[in-house]
Structure 1
């Protein structure tokens, strides 16, 4: 520790969903969602091309929610958002080594899946299949440049595995980041995760979408949350 990613391309879409529905999805974790608006939580869908890192090269998809840190009193709006962490609910990958490492080191809910990334064109696309069934087809349209130019604020990621919720310190350094209001198109398949997303209200317009052409990340040791 820490485990380092030296270069990755990251595309994400942030969706407003009903807070009560999101709470039901992550109830097993013991965490509560952050409410960015009264009754509204945020579901994050992300796909990543890990090009160079300690866990080798692989593709990954993530379904996550912005959450309040354990013990943090509830509020609504920017105060909740500034202190939010991210709870990783589902994290399919396409390589077995990172699957085993992610589960063992941090408790990430990694599963093997077929993740097809199309990143060479102006639009970024992820086609995700699990057990021969389409989960989703997600297209992200890059927007305007964001002047991040370096390290972003550290963020706590949360995981739950084997009855234990963990906190994972996570930091990101980004280059060539872009953001766009909306900016995502999604088609759901017939997999159970697609049904879960449908019950959250997707497909719908994203709050915003982001792309990072070059990201470097650091993952610290997991601790019990």
Structure 2
């Protein structure tokens, strides 16, 4: 079993999250703009419609896991695994989870957190682009809100409205996440088991700030109507050892 020493603490693989609350807003964006944003990774965005790629904004409150309790925000893109053939067009009625099951991977482009230990662990173990930021999550009401500030500047203020409950929660789904750090692309085996899932078309309100990441999102066409939003009241997941694809 692989182990990593982070700040004097031994972390055994795979890393487990036993409980987290998650919100996701996914957007159709121009595929060429998405490719420009992630060009450094040498990965290719999936065109879920001709000329359109999928970008997801994700926030999470990790309350029980091997890396401790922390808050996180992420910007991710649906990508073709290295060496894979172009993906066939798919129905946009599928949720983000269903699109992953069709074989595409998730490339994590930006992943700020609010705790130093998980930042170092994420960068060291998986090459995730974690950095410290101020992440204000307001999750006690049906409306889930995430406010991200970096270096004293607003990145975004995202509000997700409640959706319709989805039956069959608790199924384990195997996914592949991808990271890129110091010129190296890595594939991370990832499995999730969500409970208390709610979905709806649209359902997000977003306000962008004046940070450089906000400018990047505006170049993708945000703010705009979300394709789909989802919330997960209880998410368990595991992350395996990173490997070069």
TM, length-normalised to structure 1: 0.98
Which residue of 2 is the match for residue 213 of structure 1?
A: 233
Deviation at 1:17, TM superposition (A): 0.2
2-structure distance, mates of 1:75, 1:120? 39
Contact 1:150/1:174, CA 8 A, preserved across alignment: yes
Contact 1:123/1:140, CA 8 A, preserved across alignment: yes
The SS at the match of 1:100 is: helix
2-structure distance, mates of 1:6, 1:206? 29
Partner deviation per Cα, 1:171-213 (whole Å, 9 max, x = no partner): 0011110001001000000000000000000000000000000
Contact 1:34/1:76, CA 8 A, preserved across alignment: no
2-structure distance, mates of 1:212, 1:202? 23
Q: How many residues are treated as equivalent by the alignment? A: 225
Contact 1:38/1:76, CA 8 A, preserved across alignment: no
Which residue of 2 is the match for residue 87 of structure 1?
A: 107
Moved over 2 A (4+): none
Deviation at 1:161, TM superposition (A): 0.3
2-structure distance, mates of 1:21, 1:152? 33
Which residue of 2 is the match for residue 146 of structure 1?
A: 166
1-structure distance, mates of 2:22, 2:105? 18
Deviation at 1:110, TM superposition (A): 0.2
The reply to whether residue 3 of structure 1 matches residue 15 of structure 2 is yes
Which residue of 2 is the match for residue 170 of structure 1?
A: 190
Which residue of 1 is the match for residue 54 of structure 2?
A: 42
2-structure distance, mates of 1:210, 1:154? 19
Contact 2:80/2:87, CA 8 A, preserved across alignment: no
> Cα RMSD over matched residues?
1.2
Instruction: State which of 139, 157, 178 in structure 2 corresponds to 1:158.
Output: 178
